Amino acid sequence: MNKNLNIAIIQADLAWENIEENLNLFSEKIDLIDKNVNLIVLPEMFSTGFSMNAGNLAEPPQGPAFKWIQEIARKRNVAVTGSLIVKENNNFYNRLYFVFPNTTFKTYDKRHAFTLAREDQTYTAGNERLIVNYKGWKICPLICYDLRFPVWARNTVDYDLLIYVANWPETRIHAWDILLQARAIENMSYCIGVNRTGSDGNKYQYNGHSAIYDCLGRPLFKNNREFEFTQVVSLEKSHVSETREKLKFLQDRDSFSLE
């Protein structure tokens, strides 16, 4: 078990529907990471931007962008996570991959399709939450619009780290800031949000605000600017266990069933 988990988050301006350019962009940014990291977190649909053009952009379950993640994981001896457009069994998915350093992987299909952008008319929603066990840490990775639904994220399994990968627009960035912090507080978990910057093919603007909160909702890193950056932060497992043991808030949580 790792007492500390060193995480690199990458906030970037995605090239609209240009897989090759985006993979080259992230390759360059990852090559510049000169610190020892255990996990690299990329935005939602990091190879394309948040596009409904799934018919032209989707790759098979283990397609080129996925293999690119595997190569990064293998070469850097690091876990990598982010979401891609995937076609499987004639359905399209906004699918998050969590690839381990040995190139094995877990997947999570976005549960909450963003109806305002008609994502629900293009992508099939997932129905299973993913909990990843990595270096003694329990990690719950989710995708963008999932942030608005606290029941789906509710910490009933004592995970240590909640991650949201996103393409969250500037017009509603206040909600992103507040909800990330709230998820950390209510779940007594570290919470990471990785957003994009720039503009997309639909003229939506993105201004980043990627952030990392501890399990009391205190910012370990918060950048309210819209430029690209890579930030490495070390998370301490003892912070979670000691805070939960002292305050015991999760022991008072309500029980519920999810339909």
Smallest CA-to-CA distance from 80 within 103, 58, 62, 64 is with 103
Instruction: Tell me the per-residue pLDDT of 215-250, one tens digit each, with 9 for 90 and over.
Output: 999 999 998 888 999 999 999 999 999 999 999 999
Q: In what order do the strands lie in the sheet with 190-194?
A: 132-134, 137-143, 161-165, 190-194, 211-213, 219-222
Q: Answer yes or no: 144 catalytic.
A: yes
Q: What is the pTM of this model?
A: 0.97
- Give residue 226's pLDDT: 84
Catalytic residue from among 59, 119, 144, 237: 144
196 φ, ψ (degrees, to nearest 5) = -100, 175
Question: CA–CA distance from 21 to each of 17, 83, 155, 165, 193 (Å)?
Answer: 9, 16, 37, 20, 23
Q: Answer yes or no: 215 catalytic.
A: no
Banded pLDDT at 2 (limits 50, 70, 90): confident
CATH code for the structural domain at 4-252:
3.60.110.10
Catalytic residue from among 17, 59, 110, 191: 110
Catalytic residue from among 17, 44, 119, 226: 44
Banded pLDDT at 194 (limits 50, 70, 90): very high
